Structures are given as structure tokens and as C-alpha cells.
Chain A
């Protein structure tokens, strides 16, 4: 980073750089180990994982293991086509066999997998909030009753890993927006100007961070009481959610 005359801007840039740098070591390796493990477990020809790019409504293939994988990584596929697209938009898993029996169908599938498989098992990558991508297993050599259930477990791990890394990617923006809310007027103005340069993070998250900052300035008893109150509120919400 080249130092500039504006230290705030430097800090902003530092925070923006720092977030991604703090992504837990081996994030991509973890995703790759998930596709490799799935490929081995299902004795499959290939396994790939694509993550949704919400800006462009495209699926971006991040990692792939096995046959055709070199051509797949980095590939961007418009959301509006193929089996992967339906899985992501509907949130439902799907398995298709005998793909090559019907050449019209095979062409459709090949566009999102890099080669034409005989069979495909596709599962949405889902967090509590949304579907964020898809994991596909191609050409399982042995099929078992629990394949879909097992792939759902891999999908859950991958979705959590991707969501965790996103928190860090947004760290810089969240940090500045929350500082702005707890600073005095002059500093707040300056910080606001800096924060405006970055695309907005979740506003509510920044608010929450600012509240915690205020809490940190209070005494031990107040902090204890507030922590208990927040805990009980979350328990209440959890219970309410379970009842629904």
C-alpha cells in the first residue's frame, strides 16, 4: 500500500485488504477437499462446486476434482440454463441418469459441467438465509440409497465455509460503518466520506456493532445484564422459530 496524505483513506484500504487476508487459512483448500472427498466417497468421475455471483446472476465454478475439472474452474454460466440453474433457483436437489441416452438433453448438461456425463447429482448449497450455489457429482460408479442425503452433508459444510469467508471479505466495510456510528461528529463525517467509497455492507450489522461498542464503555454489571438480556432474547426468538 502506498501511503497517502489522508490516513483515514489508508486505514480504509488497509481494512479492505485485511478482511480477505483474514479469511481462515486454506479456505479454497477446504472447498477443494470437500469436492475431492465427495468424488472419492461416491466413486465418481468428477465433482464440482459453483457459487452464485449475485451481481451478474451467474454461477462461478470455484473448484472441481476429476474428469474435465481443468476446463471447469473459473467457468461462468448464466443462471438461466441447465440442471444447475434449476437447482439454485428452486432450492431443490435433483439426480438425472442416462443423460447420454438423449443427445438433446446431453447438450444442455454439458454446458454447465465441461463434459457429457452419464449421470448427474446436483444439490443446492444453502445457508439459513439463501441458496448460494450448487455442488454436482458426475458419473457415480456405484449408487446407494443414501447418496442424496450424504451429498446434502457435504453441501452444508461447503455452504458454511463459503459464508464464513464472506464475513471476512466484508470486514473492512462493516468496520468503518460501525466506527462512524460511534465516533464524534467531525470524525464521523470523515469516516462517512471514506465508507461511502465502498459498497454498503448489511446496515443492521453495522448498527449492532455500534451498540456493542457503547456496551463496552459501560461497567461490568451493566455488561453482564446486557449479555444476559441479549442471550435470552435470542433464546426466545429460537423458541418462537421452532414453534412455527
Chain B
């Protein structure tokens, strides 16, 4: 089964991309070989993370954000351990931990049992990530409300200018969805391959990168595991790769990281200076 946008990564449909033809080719080995993501701060904006899960192996920090009509920012920040309400944040954390075992994972819980103020809480989560020096942010959720277009755009731009990489799963239906449709974020859909390092680049917007997200084994709450499908599992694969790249090459900007991902994508033509 294939989630929306993943048809762009079908072997028959996938565009063949010319290599950049650099003097020294950018290879996967150069990009992330031997990197463990050590020293890179990765935030997962989701339903919380079960830090004791064997696939997660601990996290470096957690904040739960709730809607508060009396607060100046309309949001309340509760720092410290929390549980994963649904299991999905734990699934994302497990995927990222596999790819970047030594990275610092932060749980930014914005999904809860209440829907009131959902967009405000989501935006507050992004703001927390920018203010707290996160390097990569995994977003397997989005908002389709026009009211939030400007707010999310402003935050996405601010993240971009602070070298905070926002990695976002594309929405299921082709309708406005923020921030996954902004050009400053890394937008991801699922492809069928199983190798966690498999990566495709799609030159036709809105989705840019394809990564494993179909029938992948993921961690879930209560220490459990399951076999799951969704673009929301493809995004953490790209988050993991970006984390490895930053672990090895500090201070890169989002466009530099995107260029590296494009250069090492598996559908890039194999030329003499192409990826090894």
C-alpha cells in the first residue's frame, strides 16, 4: 500500500537526475559515513516519546506544551518527563535513534487529548525548538488552517535563518498544509524500499524526498513494536540522515544540507563523478 505522493517515487515514475558533476563527488560516505549524530540536537514534535522504550534508549529532554487561554503566549510549557499519549512519537524516535545512535533527542509534545488551540500549541512547539537551539526538527503533522499560514511561514523562515532543519511529512490530501508546503522545509513522502539509508530526490514539488515508510517495523507505546505505513514514518528517516550529516559537518545551512541529500539520492545518474 502506498501513501499519497509516494507514486512519484515508483521506479517507473521516478525522474533520473543528472549528477552535479563536481570535481570531487559528494558521496554518502562523505556525507554521513561513520557519523553517529553525536552532538546534534533533534526535536520530535509529536505525541511525546516513551524514553524507556528499548528502541529509543533514552532522551535528552522533554517539554509538553498545552493551550492556556490565560498565558501571554496562549501556551503553557511543562518541562520534564512525560508519556507518549499515542505511540507515534516513540515510533519516530526509534527510527531516528537507529540512524543516529548518539544524537540528543528532545520530545516536544504538542498533540494531546484536547483539540482546543491545537494550531497555537503546534506553533509554540516550533518556537520552543528555535529558541532552544535544536538543529533538526521532525514534524509528522501539519495544519491546514488558513488562519495559521502567516504564523507558520514566519516560524519556518526564522528556523531557516537559524539553521534549524524542519523535516516534514507531506499531508495525505493535496490541499494547503503548513509547514510541509513551504519551500524552506524538507518535505518527505514514503517510498517502498526497506534500506533505512535509501533516499530518492523528486524534482517536482511539493514533495522533495522519498524515504522508507511502507511496512516498516516501528516502536510503539508500552514497549511494543508494530509494522506501519505512512508518510509520517518516512520523515524521521530523512531526519536521521540530516542528523548524521550535521554530526559530521557542523554549521551547514538548510540549503547546503538539501544539496547534499540531492547529490547522494539513489536516483541521481551514476556518472564518473556521481555518487559512489
Top 10 closest A-B pairs, CB basis?
A80-B113, A86-B86, A95-B229, A104-B224, A90-B141, A105-B224, A104-B222, A97-B227, A102-B224, A89-B111
A152 touching B4, Cβ below 8 Å: yes
Cα distance A99–B7 in the bound complex, in angstroms: 26
- A156 is contacted by which of B173, B177, B215, B225 (Cβ under 8 Å)? B173
A89-B118 in contact (CB<8A): yes
A92 touching B232, Cβ below 8 Å: yes
Nearest neighbor of B227 in chain A, beta-carbon distance: A97
Q: 0/1 per residue, B142-177, Cβ < 8 Å to A?
A: 111110010000000000000000000101110111
| Complex contacts, B221 vs chain A, CB 8 Å | 108
In the assembled complex, B81 has its CB within 8 A of some CB on chain A: no
Is there a chain A Cβ closer than 8 Å to B138's Cβ?
no
Does residue B210 face the partner (Cβ distance < 8 Å to A)?
no
Which residues of A lie under 8 Å from residue B220 when comparing CB positions?
102, 105, 108
Is B140 on the interface with A (CB-CB < 8 A)? yes
B229→A94 contact, CB < 8 A: yes
B1 at the interface (CB under 8 A from A): yes
Contacts of A129 in B (CB 8 A): 145
A97 to B229, CA, bound (A): 8
Interface residues of A in 83-134 (CB under 8 A from B): 83, 85-86, 88-99, 101-102, 104-105, 107-108, 121, 123-124, 126, 128-130
- B121 CB to closest chain A CB, in angstroms? 10
Give A112 Cβ to nearest chain B Cβ, in Å.
Answer: 11
B226 touching A128 by the CB < 8 A rule? no
Q: Which residue numbers of B lie inside 8 Å of A, CB to CB?
A: 1-4, 46-47, 85-88, 111-116, 118, 140-146, 149, 169, 171-173, 175-177, 215, 220-232
A130-151 CB contacts (< 8 Å) to partner B: 130, 143-149
Q: Are A149 and B2 in contact (CB under 8 A)?
A: yes
CB pair B172–A89 under 8 Å, yes or no, is no
26 residue pairs of the A-B complex, CB under 8 angstroms, read: A54-B115, A80-B112, A81-B113, A83-B87, A85-B85, A85-B86, A89-B141, A90-B47, A92-B140, A92-B141, A94-B88, A94-B230, A94-B232, A96-B226, A98-B227, A102-B224, A102-B225, A105-B220, A105-B226, A107-B222, A126-B173, A144-B1, A145-B1, A147-B1, A148-B1, A148-B2
Interface size on A, residues (CB 8 A): 47
A79 near B172 with CB under 8 A, answer: no
The CA-CA distance from A97 to B220 in the complex, in Å, is 13
Does A201 reach chain B (CB closer than 8 Å)? no
Residues of A with C-beta under 8 A to B113: 57, 78-81, 85
Q: Distance (Å) between the CB of B237 and the closest chain A CB?
A: 15
Contact of A126 with B144 in the complex, beta carbons under 8 Å: yes
| A244 in contact with B176 (CB, 8 Å) | yes
Contacts of B140 in A (CB 8 A): 90, 92
Q: Is A82 interfacial (CB-CB < 8 Å)? A: yes
Is residue A241 contacting chain B, with contact meaning CB distance below 8 A?
Answer: yes
A98 to B225, CA, bound (A): 10
In addition to A86-B86, A99-B226, A148-B172, 16 A-B residue pairs with Cβ atoms within 8 Å of each other are: A57-B115, A57-B116, A85-B113, A86-B111, A89-B115, A90-B141, A91-B144, A92-B232, A97-B228, A107-B222, A108-B221, A121-B1, A130-B144, A148-B229, A152-B4, A241-B146
